[in-house]
Amino acid sequence: MRVGVLATGDTAVRAAHSLAAHPVIDDVVVIGPAKSRNFKVVETADECDLLVGAGAKAPAAARRLGAPLVWDGESAASGVSVWGASPQGLTLALASRETDPRLVALAHPAVRKGSDHKARFPDPLGKLETADSVYGDRRLAVARSPNQFAACLAIGADRRVTIVDDGAFLSGVALGAGVAAVGESPRPVWAAALAYLRTATEMGLVMAEDL
């Protein structure tokens, strides 16, 4: 599989490095205009099976290039094959594997500060104020991380499952791992949660659970 990465910022660059190290990816290129010391820069997506990109402008760029897009946006858009490839989507994918999830929450340095409830995240984050939100038509509590770490948290009837890592690294993996969620029709990452989470762990994220 050849993946073209849209030059849309730090998250896309980190996704490119995660993809390049994954065994199912044959080649990673950057779609120019751009400069890269690590990847070949090309002008078209003619030989790309997929595009990966972040940010509001990525779907329009993918449509212009004529290749399906794995995106970190929260909803379907023309030209997008997989959406929700983000820390929020990663959290929802984690929760979708649980029966009767009672709390689904994300702490990340890039999200807004909450004031609705409090949730205890794994160290080194601890107890944080969360804000109620909706992502992809699903409820999600979000909290501003007090440091560079991020945490995904899903508490179900029988267990507590978490992912904790550097926030920027987690965002890059969440985007890159979205290639595993590509199917016959467009869908969010949590619709292919098992494949998505497996790929995210293969790219370096670690899930932990307490029974």
pLDDT confidence tier of residue 211, bands split at 50, 70 and 90: low
- Total residues belonging to the chain: 211
Alpha-carbon distance values, 17 to 21, 105, 115, 196 (Å) = 7, 27, 36, 17
pLDDT for the residue numbered 45: 95
Judgement on whether residues 129 and 176 belong to the same structural domain of the protein: no
Judgement on whether residues 108 and 160 belong to the same structural domain of the protein: yes
pLDDT for the residue numbered 197: 98
* Separation CA 148–CA 90 (nearest Å): 18
Over the stretch 10-25, which tens digit does the pLDDT of each residue have? Answer: 999 999 999 999 999 9
Over the stretch 65-75, which tens digit does the pLDDT of each residue have? Answer: 999 999 999 99
Domain of 98?
88-169
Over the stretch 110-119, which tens digit does the pLDDT of each residue have? Answer: 998 877 789 9
The domain that holds 75 is classified in CATH as: 3.40.50
Arithmetic mean of pLDDT over the chain? 94
* Number of independent structural domains in the chain: 2
* Separation CA 174–CA 167 (nearest Å): 10
Judgement on whether residues 19 and 119 belong to the same structural domain of the protein: no
pLDDT confidence tier of residue 32, bands split at 50, 70 and 90: confident
Question: Which residues on adjacent β-strands are paired with residue 139?
Answer: 134
As a whole-number percent, the residues of the chain with pLDDT over 90 amount to 86
Domain for residue 211, yes or no?
Answer: no
102-133 as b/e: b if 16+ CB within 10 A: ebbbbbbeebeebeeeebebbeebeebebbeb
What 8-state DSSP symbol labels residue 112? P
Domain for residue 53, yes or no?
Answer: yes
Domain for residue 51, yes or no?
Answer: yes
Higher pLDDT, 211 or 56: 56
